[in-house]
Structure 1
Amino acid sequence: MLAKSAATLSCKGVLSLALYALLLSYPAAGFERTEDRLPCAHRSETKMALFGDLHVHTSYSFDSYISSQRNTPWDAYRYAKGEAITLSDADGEQTLQAQLQRPLDFTGITDHAEFLGPINICTTDSSAAGYWFPYCVLTRSNIYVLQLLAANYWASLGVLSETNDGDREASFVCQMSDCDGAHNATWQLIQQAAEEHYDRSSDCSFTTFVAYEYTDAPGGKNLHRNVVFRNENVTATAISTYDTGSRNVPELWSRLRAECLDDDVNCDVMAIPHNSNLSGGLMFPDPASEQEARDRLRLEPLFELIQHKAASECRFDRLLGRGLATEDELCDFEQAKSDNLTMLATVFGKVRTASAAPVGLDDFGRRNMVRNALKDGLALEQSSGINPFQMGFIGSTDTHSATPGGAEENNYVGHLGRRDAGYRNIQDHFFDNPGGLAVVWAEENSRDAIFDSMRERETYATSGTRPIVRFFAGDEIAVDACAQPDMIAQAYRDGVAMGGRLEQPASPRFLISASKDPGSPGNPGNDLQRIQIIKGWVDTGGTTHEHVFDVAGNANNGASVNPANCEPVGSGHEQLCRVWQDPQFNATESAFYYARVLENPSCRWSTLQCQAAGVNPFAADCQTQADARTAEQRDAGAIGDVYSKCCLDPAQEPFYSPVLQERAWTSPIWTSAAH
């Protein structure tokens, strides 16, 4: 790549000859360099954990703007880098200050492609005829009820429609003004913001990615993808559902291949599906053709396992005492009761649509949970020769408040603008959560290094905290690897890292290590409780199975929280490491393995905010406290019951608990069967 670039440097005027000479003298990297930029002063051949967020909405997204959220991609990047920004309060006034306790290493802004043009017209230029379209006026309104009407309009236009025919011109605003031109103008702004905040110096302090969200949700069933580009070379437009038609993700893949991957423009891209828990069973269908299977493999190497609309690993209903094709009781973690996006339709404390009603376990789509999709992928490979569901894991926030990385339980300001600001967070979005983080093992903090590692699935997801987790497998992994000073270098030499694949191993060993989140000043991280390895496999008859192994630490370490103030009680581990072999390993069966790292119990964000309001979920008189605080909020203008959810009895809830265990999930390692 460097040789090719040398012939064009002078005409591009990007790098001086001196800088090019510096690049040539720089040690060879283990990833492909496609950019003209300074080499990073800090890099590691054994890679470093970089924390980021690849699911972020700003005022360029319709559902962010209509929630009195006015921060742009520029502001979101500033927030990701540790600067304070101003957010809307519950009354729609820009009064709240938000700031991360620790900055991120990388971020991608993913505003909805579908309405980039119309929202630009509705909000930026009063001389445009479309600016005065009635629903544009409602969109700009600061009156809550009018904003909700605007939200319903935009959603019904295609994003949640069962009958989206791919015709954006159905919107009158596009008949009054040039939506295509406005779309392209906004797409250029997204690219400009990413470029201005990307640190191309040798400091490599922060990396941005040009990205957007492809937002298809027929009947509210989530088929969303975050489309992330490797470098500044991107498609001419942000390809949307209006370009492909609904229920047609394969057309998105086809267009990304034609306009990026297969076009000789140094373009690379991936699409990251999210919220399969809300997909109504539609996210992971059997491929209709070999081309579809190969497109999914090539273009979707990652899956967003957790974000603010719940987790999608697996599902266990505590009231029923059973799970969705699982017996794993830890699968009750941050689950939504419904199976579609209308689960957000709670206003003034009440659910406002029947489609948001709880969905019973027996009616919940099996592949709404990614662990089941991974298992079914093994069965598909056994029958067809291709496993289309080889996906690594990341987490992100899906913030609609321009707050990337805002996944700290004790610093959670909400992710939906005024809709969950202040008391509304408890009242209307109690069952949401702060989301998670994407962690990438990369040689340096640059687009090429991070993107290559994402392509290789050397990633893991966290529920918002920052433990450091390694996971390797191989026949040659040393039994005493945890005791070796060059443990990681040996593991790379003797095995494959998380996200990798072992072809017909004889008897693999798995190396798993974890270090606790060190925390930030005044906010120490949680101790580790234990590490588990989750195995999924398909037997020779085509039946899939799973098993959860505790491999390090202790589930019964006595750790808990003080119910009066949520301070931690007891201790755990600062570090855990183990070399483990599967006692049930069968070389004739294909399998996957991933690690799940569990921290000691801590209080959920809702518990912290309830206590801060004077309502203690652990108190015997919780409801009395809730009634008093609700009366105060009503006197100040709130409508409906505000704080009663603080007093929910977890023994009567299938998923909710005031105490949780933060966790991390590594990407799987696959093992192929011997033939």
Structure 2
Amino acid sequence: MARHFASVLLSTTLLASPLLAQVTTDAGTIDPEKIERFFNQPGYSPYAGRSFPTRPLWGEQHLHTSWSADAFASGTRVGPDEALRYAKGAEITSSTGQPVKLSRPYDWMVVTDHSDAMGVVASVYEGDPNMMADPQLKQWHDGMVEGGASASAVMMEMIAAQGNGELPEQMTDNNVQFDIWKNMTEIVEGHNEPGIFSAIIGYEWSSNYGGGNNLHRNLIYRDDKYFADQVRPLTTFDTEQPRELWDWMQAYEDKTGGRILAIPHNGNLSNGLMFATETPDGNPIDAAWAEKRARWEPLYEVTQGKGTSEQHPSLAPSDEFADFEIWDKGNLNVVPKEPGMIEYEYAREALKRGLKLEDEFGTNPFKFGLLGSTDAHTGISSTEENNFWGKFPQSEPGPERSTGNAFDFDGRTVKDWKLGASGLTAVWATENTRASIWDAMKRKEVYGTTGTRIGLRFFGGWEFAESDALGRTPANIGYAKGVPMGGDLMPAPEGATAPNFLVAALKDPFSGNLDRIQIIKGWVDAAGEMQEKIYDVAWSGDREPGEDGKVPPVGDTVDVATASFTNTIGAPELIAVWSDPDFDPALDAFYYARVIEIPTPRWTAYDAAYFEDAAFADDVPMTVTERAYSSPIWYSHGE
């Protein structure tokens, strides 16, 4: 039975609420044998002896600074040092000369500048004689120095040249790149403060296979500079094939003894390649490929500034929340899509297809957790709608971004207003250290949001009871009776008829109340067809499902003219225990939670209210329904 609340709590109460930490004994019976897995000395205090994560650590795993070639060419002058200071709460100056600061510091961050030509473009801009000997680099130098539209054009040309493997040789010197990498790791090392802030080493491998088909991956290191400096980062001049990236990762671990993982970018710009059943060069995938992808890529970037790729509305017409910040016209170079591509670009389709491939290969290559990030190229990670700093400097706050272009390739444009103020990653780590955060990523105990800081717990098991949703601290019972997000359901005990799930959400005190919690199930039926279903499991107010089984809309309090809203609808928190009513023990399945906020003003509304000269077209969206996506929990019927 779902519990839905309409009470209003003060922000201070919400900030201190233990709802997402543990649970007291009034929330169900705890098996004494199981509780010892998590408590050293069970007793009166529900907080003593805890050895599981007790709060989400918020951070960014995908940010570019002036050390990325395309970012510098477009005018970004915020470097990795400034970016990390900003993430820790400092006020910095943006590339357009404006002061900027986070509302709340992050707990961790990864600066992921492109490995291709990392840090080299500054030499082009400064007129290094070695660089100026190349006519193309001289032209780019002149355009960057001129600035404005000329600099934007240089940025587009660099993106195209990188995607086509045509960057001049002076920009791809391996020795220069390795020296710059060691400077990068030195900067990151200087900002790492275990227990306070984790500065994590990483970079982006930026395969644009076939001319703009985005197969980018972020490489996230568990360890420190000593390990990372032993192997030069892989570039697309080495290879554009993901399987060769995985081989590089294996070689890195073999040589250094360190650990590393890869996070694929949003697949909606891959033109059908991100989750294809063929490799980019046209070969069919096989069991070895599936095993490697499953090992090296435990997570997927489900939402970011260039679109959210949870599910496409054309693939799930009954999902009223699927049409959210969709970019579906083309690839990174805005090369138009062809029929059939979209189904290989979205997370939910891949999660379902992974179940089919596991039957074929014995390994599920798409068994990934979900997270979010910005992919900003400004050195500024910004996800709040009233504090959004765009993709490149030309899309930083100003009246001109109401009509500007985020991308323009030979007249194929994407408007600035299509950019989303997304997203963030929450990690359920036991402590704020690189190793603990990386370990949580590896086991997929993470979730992504579209920028808001919703608190979210999601557990799956076989023995949850309705009374387990009555307490203030559900994680005690969640860990004791089940597995957290990212996990596999344990075998069903004798007499169990269906898995059940404990899910709890807490609003971001700086954002809107919660509309509802949904659990989304995917499976492959007995005929081999991929299926999905969405269940509303908790919602605010006294709404009742209609004849179609759907809960009616929560309403809308947004005043677009003033970019304001009220939290007079929705709920500050929701919690439920839900059992799958359609469970078939013979069919493998996955489940994940999606939490939806009430409508709030989009960044475009804040711009329109702030800038007198803003000129957004009538069809530009002015509201947004922020959301959180848990990593899935998987059920396997076994043999």
Fold conserved (TM > 0.5)? Answer: yes
Counterpart of 1:584?
582
1:481 aligns with: 468
Q: Counterparts of 2:368 and 2:377 in 1: how far apart (Å)? A: 25
Whether the 8 Å CA contact 1:49–1:442 is kept in 2: the answer is yes
Q: Does 1:190 align with 2:184?
A: yes
Spell out the pairing of 1:252-651 with structure 2 (5 A cutoff). Answer: 252-260=245-253, 262-263=254-255, 265-286=256-277, 288-316=285-313, 323-343=314-334, 355=335, 359=337, 362-404=339-381, 406-427=382-403, 428=405, 429-484=416-471, 487-505=474-492, 506=496, 507-519=498-510, 525-554=511-540, 555-569=552-566, 570-614=568-612, 629=613, 643-645=615-617, 647-648=618-619
Aligned-residue offset at 1:513: 0.2
Deviation at 1:267, TM superposition (A): 0.8
| Amino acid in structure 2 at the alignment position of 1:393 | L
- Picking from 21, 31, 54, the partner of 2:61 is 54
1:48 Cα shift?
A: 1.7
- Cα distance, 1:387 vs structure 2: 0.9
Q: 1:438 to 1:142 in 2, by over 3 A?
A: farther
Q: Is the Cα–Cα contact under 8 Å of residues 429 and 437 in structure 2 kept in the other structure?
A: yes
Q: What amino acid sits opposite 2:615 in the alignment?
A: Y
1:266/1:124 Cα in 2 relative to 1: closer, same or farther (>3 Å)?
farther
- Please, which of 74, 97, 100 is the counterpart of residue 98 of structure 1? 100
Is the contact made by 1:121 and 1:179 (CA closer than 8 Å) also made in structure 2? no
Does the 8 A contact of 2:563 with 2:609 survive in 1? no
> Structure 1 residue 220 and structure 2 residue 190: aligned?
no
C-alpha contact (below 8 Å) 1:601/1:660 kept by paired residues? yes
- Residue in 2 that maps onto 1:18: none
- How do 1:12-51 and structure 2 match up within 5 A? 45-51=52-58
Q: Map 1:67-78 onto structure 2 (within 5 A).
A: 67-78=74-85
Structure 1 residues 552 and 576: CA distance shift in structure 2, 3 A: same
Provide closer, same or farther for how the CA distance between residues 503 and 173 of structure 1 changes in structure 2, counting only shifts above 3 A. Answer: same
Greater shift in the superposed pair: 551-560 or 276-285: 551-560
Task: Give 2:117's aligned amino acid.
Answer: F
Alignment root-mean-square deviation, CA = 2.4
Shift of 1:208: 1.0
Q: Which residue of 2 aligns with 1:250?
A: 243
1:290-349 Cα deviation digits (max 9, x unpaired): 221111111100001111001000111xxxxxx225521211110114131134xxxxxx
- 2:142 pairs with 123, 138, 145, which one? 138
User: What amino acid is aligned across from residue 662 of structure 1 in structure 2?
Assistant: E
Q: 1:140 to 1:185 in 2, by over 3 A?
A: farther
Shift of the alpha carbon at 1:97?
Answer: 1.2
In the TM superposition, what is the alpha-carbon distance from 1:364 to its structure 2 partner? Answer: 4.2
Structure 2: distance between partners of 1:81 and 1:196: 13
> Secondary structure, in 3 states, of the residue corresponding to 1:560?
coil
Which amino acid is the alignment partner of residue 110 of structure 2? G
Q: How far apart are residue 45 of structure 1 and its match? A: 2.8
Distance 1:484 1:120 in 2: 56
> SS where residue 241 of structure 1 aligns?
coil
* One-letter identity of the residue aligned with 1:295: K
Would the aligned equivalents of 1:601 and 1:661 in 2 still touch at CA under 8 Å? yes
1:658 aligns with 2:635: no
Question: Which residue of the partner structure matches residue 6 of structure 1?
Answer: none
Structural mapping, 1:130-209, within 5 Å: 130=132, 133-138=137-142, 140-158=144-162, 160-161=163-164, 164=165, 171-174=168-171, 179-200=173-194, 204-209=195-200
- 8 Å contact kept, 1:325–1:372: no
For residues 313 and 258 of structure 1, do their structure 2 counterparts lie closer, same or farther at Cα, with a shift above 3 Å needed? Answer: same
**Gaps spanning 5+ residues in structure 1: where?**
1-28, 31-41, 90-94, 317-322, 344-354, 520-524, 615-628, 630-641, 649-655
Higher RCO, 1 or 2 (CA under 8 Å, sep at least 6)?
Answer: 2
Normalising by the residue count of structure 2, what TM-score does the alignment of the two structures yield? Answer: 0.82
- Letter of the structure 2 residue corresponding to residue 500 of structure 1: G
CA distance in 2, matches of 1:150, 1:111: 18
- Structure 1, 471-480 or 76-85: larger mean CA deviation: 471-480
| Number of the residue aligned with 2:24 | none
1:668 and 1:149 map into 2 onto residues whose CA distance is 41
Task: Say if 1:452 and 1:661 are closer, same or farther in 2 by CA, change over 3 A.
Answer: same
Aligned-partner residue type, residue 513 of structure 2 = D
Deviations 1:33-88 (A, max 9, x none): xxxxxxxxx99634320000000000000111112111110000011111111123
Match of 1:352 in 2: none
**Quick one: structure 1 residues 78 and 125, their matched pair in 2 at CA, closer, same or farther if it must change by over 3 Å?**
farther
* 8 Å Cα contact 1:212-1:228 kept in structure 2: yes
1:63 aligns with 2:76: no
CA contact (8 A) 1:67 1:419 kept: no
| Displacement after TM superposition at 1:472 (Å) | 0.2
Match of 2:22 in 1: none
Query: Structure 1 residues 478 and 562 mapped into 2: Cα distance closer, same or farther (>3 Å)?
Result: same
| Percentage of pairs with the same residue | 34
Q: Measure, in 1, the Cα distance between the counterparts of 2:155 and 2:623.
A: 33
Change (3 A) 1:510 1:214: same
Indicate conservation of the 8 Å contact 1:120/1:182, yes or no. no
Between stretches 587-596 and 228-237, larger displacement belongs to 228-237
Q: Deviations over 1:627-660 (max 9, x none)?
A: xx3xxxxxxxxxxxx7242x22xxxxxxx63222
CA displacement, residues 487-518 of structure 1 (integer Å, 9 cap, x when unaligned): 31221121110010115534211000001112
Q: Deviations over 1:89-114 (max 9, x none)?
A: 3xxxxx21111111100000000111
Q: Deviations over 1:533-553 (max 9, x none)?
A: 010011122111000000001
Output the CA distance in 2 between the equivalents of 1:371 and 1:445: 30
Q: Which amino acid aligns with 1:415?
A: K
Kept in 2: contact 1:59–1:69 (CA 8 A):
yes
How far apart, CA to CA, are the structure 1 residues paired with 2:144 and 2:616? 32
Partner of 2:114: 112
Q: Any conservation in 1 of the 2:203–2:218 contact (CA below 8 Å)?
A: yes
Q: Does the Cα contact within 8 Å between 1:528 and 1:599 map onto a contact in 2?
A: yes
CA distance in 1, matches of 2:367, 2:522: 12
Q: Which amino acid aligns with 1:602?
A: T
Instruction: Summarize deviations over 1:382-418 as a string: whole Å, max 9, x none.
Output: 22221110010110011111012x1010111222113
Deviation at 1:608, TM superposition (A): 1.6
Amino acid at match of 1:226: N
For 1:341, give the aligned amino acid.
L
